[in-house]
């Protein structure tokens, strides 16, 4: 058995095992987010849903909400071209509830059909804090990239002038 693994403990994410370096929060024995090389990786690997879980947790932390309202709120927040598919969101909400980051209750407030209202849990608040830390780290790297990229034309012009001498 590999270093750091415990027999018989399965991670909440298929294909992972508790106690491995890829599963940072598993030692507590609870439901948890999955980490890969120290960076929180949501289940969705496509660009559209890469940070969908972070937005869902954030908005549910602000106030309990039902799926369709959550879908509308996320799409209002995201820049043009990064819209979320409602089916992907509902799939994610079910997965997050299974992991214990969200809980839901049926609500019959107002007219119309009953709605499933999602609320963040203590496990979800921990995962939200991890998302915040991860996004802040990535933002620093992206800011550095943009700064260096914006400086490229000046660097290239100087190099061309010097090589022409």
Please give the Cα distance from 102 to 96 (Å, whole number).
Answer: 6
Categorize the per-residue pLDDT at 37 as very low, low, confident or very high, splitting at 50, 70 and 90: very low
Q: How many domains, the chain?
A: 2
State residue 162 phi and psi, 5-degree precision: -70, -40
List, in order, residues 6 or more apart from 83 with CB less than 8 Å away.
Answer: 48, 75
List, in order, residues 6 or more apart from 75 with CB less than 8 Å away.
Answer: 83, 84
Mean pLDDT of 24-37: 38
Domain check: are 153 and 120 in the same one? yes
Instruction: State pLDDT tens for residues 80-123.
Output: 888 899 999 999 999 999 999 999 999 988 788 899 999 999 99
Q: Which two tokens stand for residue 154?
A: 């000046």
Place of tokens 């058995």: 1
What pLDDT does 58 receive?
Answer: 97
Residue 137: give its domain's CATH number: 1.10.10.10
Domain check: are 48 and 1 in the same one? no
- The reported pTM is 0.63
Please give the Cα distance from 55 to 73 (Å, whole number).
Answer: 9
- The more confidently predicted of residues 76 and 36 is 76
Instruction: Identify the helix (H) or strand (E) that includes residue 104.
Output: strand 102-107
Domain check: are 34 and 55 in the same one? no
Domain check: are 139 and 99 in the same one? yes
Domain check: are 18 and 96 in the same one? no
Range of the domain at 83: 42-164
């Amino acid at each position: 058995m590999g270093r750091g693994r415990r027999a018989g403990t399965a991670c909440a994410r298929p294909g992972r095992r508790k106690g491995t370096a890829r599963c940072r929060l598993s030692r507590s024995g609870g439901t948890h987010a999955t980490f890969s090389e120290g960076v929180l990786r949501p289940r969705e690997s496509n660009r559209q849903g890469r940070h969908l879980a972070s937005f869902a947790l954030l908005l549910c932390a602000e106030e309990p909400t039902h799926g369709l309202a959550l879908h509308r709120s996320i799409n209002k927040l995201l820049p043009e071209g990064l819209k979320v598919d409602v089916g992907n969101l509902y799939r994610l909400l079910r997965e997050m509830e299974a992991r214990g980051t969200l809980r839901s209750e049926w609500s019959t407030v107002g007219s119309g059909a009953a709605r499933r209202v999602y609320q963040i849990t203590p496990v979800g608040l921990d995962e939200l804090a991890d998302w915040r830390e991860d996004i802040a780290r990535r933002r620093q790297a992206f800011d550095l990239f943009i700064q260096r990229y914006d400086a490229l034309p000046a660097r290239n012009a100087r190099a061309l002038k010097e090589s022409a001498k």
